Amino acid sequence: MSHLGPRGHPVRLMQVLFCFCVLACVGVAADYGKVTMSKIAAGVYLFTTSRYGDVGFGGNSVAILTDDGVVMFDTSGTPASAKAILSEVRKLTDKPVIYVINSHWHWDHWGGNQVFKAAYPSVQFLSHEKNRDLMMSVAVAWNAPGLAKDLPDYVKYQKEQLTAAEEKHTSETELAKKRELLAADENFLEQKRSVTYTFPNATFSESATLYLGAREIRVLHARTITPGDTYVYLPKEKILITGDILVSPIPFAVGGSYPQEWIETLQKLNKLEIETIIPGHGEAEHNKSYLQRNLALFQHVLNDVKEAKASGLSVDQAKRALINKAAEYAADLALSEAQIPEFKSYFLEVFVNRAYHELDNPLGDNPIS
C-alpha cells in the first residue's frame, strides 16, 4: 500500500476504512468523536461529528423536522455518535424519526443506523438500490479485515509507541496527548466492533420524493464518488444535502469515483436554486462557490488527463505527470501547501487513475476495478 502511517508504519486502513490519516495536530480527548449541532434553517439541523482519533473521519448528519416526523440524512460512523445525535434530536421534537436516508456505502455515513432502528423499530432506511447492494456486499467485506486485523494492529502499534515514549522520558504533555489519542483509537475500535449492520429496507432507482407535512424532500441519485450516491434537495428551503458528492475542504475520491458523471452532476447541481449546501464532511456553505470551485478543478484535471492520454502517455506516466501539478490543481480550491499531501492521496491520485481508465471503458460498479 502506498499509504503509510506514523513513522512509516504501513497500514491498509485507507482501503478498509476509507479514513486513515495521520493528523499533524492532536486534539484533546474531549474533541474526538464529539457531536456538534448547528441550525441551518427552521427545522433543519446539521450534526457534525469530529474525528474519532487518528483512524476515522468524522462527518455530517442532518435532521429535517417535519409535522409527520423526523427525516435523518446519514447516521454518522459509530453507534456512540449516533446516540449523541439522537439525544439532541429528541430535545428538538417529540416526533419519531420516520426516515433515515443513507447517502452511500462508506462506513462513516451509516455506522449509526442501528441506533435509529432500536429507538424507532418502524423507521424506513431509504437509499439508492445500488447502495443497498454495496452496503450488503462490498462494505461488509472491506470492513472485515480492518476490524479483524488492521485496526487492532494499529492500536497495538500505538501502545508500543506510547511505551517507548514513556521509557524515553518524553514530556508529560506529549505523553498525555499520546494517551488521549490511544484511548480515542481504542474506543473507535470498540465502537466499530459494536456495529450491527443495518441495511436500507426501502430503495429507489431514479428518484423519490417525500411529502411530509409542509415539507417536500427530494431524494435523488447520482453516480459520482460511488455508484449509488443519494442526495437530498429541499426545493422550498433551497437546501442541498450532498453526502460526499461534495467534501470540504478536500474532495474525496477514494474507493471508486466516476469523474465524468461527477462533473455532469456538479453542473446539474450548479443550476439549482440554492441557499445552503451541506457537504458530506465540512462546514455548510451559503453560496455555490465551493461547488463551482470543485467543478472547475474536476474539469481542469479531466482535461489534462485527456491531453496526457492523447499525447501517448500510459496511465502511470499520466499519473506521475499530473501529480507533479498538484499545487496548481490545489490552487483551484485555494488549498494551503500543508493540505497538498491529503489532496493528492484523497483526491488527485484516484481521480486521475479513474479518469484515465474511464476514457477507455465505462467504469463498473465494483469500487476496486
CB of 74 to Zn ion, least distance (A): 8
Stretch that binds Zn ion, among 28-36, 188-196, 237-245, 348-356 (CB under 5 A): 237-245
Helix (H, G, I), strand (E, B) or coil at 52: coil
Select the span of 168-176, 224-232, 239-247, 306-314 touching Zn ion (CB under 5 A): 239-247
Minimum gap (Å) between residue 136 Cβ and Zn ion? 19
The position carrying cell 490519516 is: 21
In terms of Cα–Cα distance, which of 303, 341, 337, 309 is closest to 323?
341
Q: List phi, psi (to 5°) of 3.
A: -90, 130
Beta carbon nearer to Zn ion, 102 or 198: 102
Measured from the CB atom, the residue of 56 and 280 that comes closer to Zn ion is: 280
State the nearest-atom distance from the C-beta of 247 to Zn ion, in Å.
Answer: 7
Q: Kindly indicate which of the ranges 100-108, 182-190, 289-297, 331-339 contains the residues binding Zn ion, using the contact rule CB under 5 A.
A: 100-108
Measure the N-to-C terminal CA separation of the chain; round to a whole number of Å. Answer: 16
Q: Judge contact between 51 and 23, C-beta under 8 A.
A: yes
CB of 56 to Zn ion, least distance (A): 10
> Is-contact 128 109, C-beta < 8 A?
no
Which residue is it, cell 504533555?
173
Q: Which is nearer to Zn ion, 133 or 244 (CB)?
A: 244
Tell me if 108 contacts Zn ion by CB under 5 A: yes
Q: Which is nearer to Zn ion, 146 or 280 (CB)?
A: 280
Distance CA 194, CA 294 (A): 36
Q: Which residues contact 158 (CB under 8 A, 6 or more apart)?
A: 178, 181, 182, 185
**Residues that contact Zn ion, how many (by CB under 5 A):** 3
- 79 versus 280: smaller Cβ distance to Zn ion: 280
Per CB under 5 A, the list member of 54, 133, 237, 244 interacting with Zn ion is: 244
Q: What does the alpha-carbon distance between residue 364 and residue 369 come to, in Å, rounded to a whole number?
A: 7
Instruction: Enumerate residues 263-282 that contact Zn ion by CB under 5 A.
Output: 280
Q: Where do contacts with Zn ion occur on this chain (CB under 5 A)?
A: 108, 244, 280
